[in-house]
Chain A
Amino acid sequence: AQTVTQSQPEMSVQEAETVTLSCTYDTSESDYYLFWYKQPPSRQMILVIRQEAYKQQNATENRFSVNFQKAAKSFSLKISDSQLGDAAMYFCAYRGGNNAGNMLTFGGGTRLMVKP
């Protein structure tokens, strides 16, 4: 079974600065997808960014980018120019390419605090 590990329970960043959240995963598959979800205090799960394992280029969405290291099974999220609205729980998630139900396996989450 796949596992997803987020080793940082909490992180803190100053507004306008950059922060990186870590995620590692364990799998024997070669084809899969990785996601970062944001969960603000409203509890709504919001997709931040996604990465296909077969793409070598790191995904980027505005201020959010990933550092995908397939050999190391690492998938970190970088948030640039942090804003107060970025404060939330962030979850890393994995979906296998041969997963019949397209189910997600989530990490335990990292709480990001943004200081003004």
Chain B
Amino acid sequence: NAGVTQTPKFRILKIGQSMTLQCTQDMNHNYMYWYRQDPGMGLKLIYYSVGAGITDKGEVPNGYNVSRSTTEDFPLRLELAAPSQTSVYFCASSYKAQVDNEQFFGPGTRLTVL
């Protein structure tokens, strides 16, 4: 049971490039989330999904897109990367039926846009 895995661990992009951050969970969780963490700050929600085929915006969705074709995978797409998207990105998942819906986090992807 690997939990939540993210790839890549690190990435440097040039302004205007695009990329996809991968996230997979093997816990059969309904809910999945993408957060970003800017230096010295807390996590902010980008997008979330309550099940395959269902996604919705969080607090800071501009410049990102997501899809959820399977229960396990929740990729985050960056189009036209900008320096403001330099951050650490965390994927998380939780199980709807669990009372307090504890979120389990992946190890993060450090992205730098130059």
Contact = CB atoms under 8 A, between A and B. Distances in A.
Interface of A: 4, 6, 9, 33, 35, 42-45, 47, 50, 52, 91, 95, 100-109
B5 to A, nearest CB: 12
B78 to A, nearest CB: 19
28 contacts: A4-B42, A6-B42, A35-B102, A43-B108, A44-B107, A45-B90, A45-B92, A45-B105, A47-B103, A50-B102, A91-B42, A95-B100, A100-B50, A101-B31, A101-B33, A101-B48, A102-B31, A102-B101, A102-B103, A103-B45, A103-B48, A103-B58, A104-B43, A106-B43, A106-B44, A108-B40, A108-B41, A109-B42
A31 to B, nearest CB: 12
A45 B92 CA distance: 10
Nearest to B31: A102
A109 B41 contact: yes
Interface of B: 31, 33, 35, 40-45, 48, 50, 56, 58, 88, 90, 92, 94, 96, 99-103, 105, 107-108
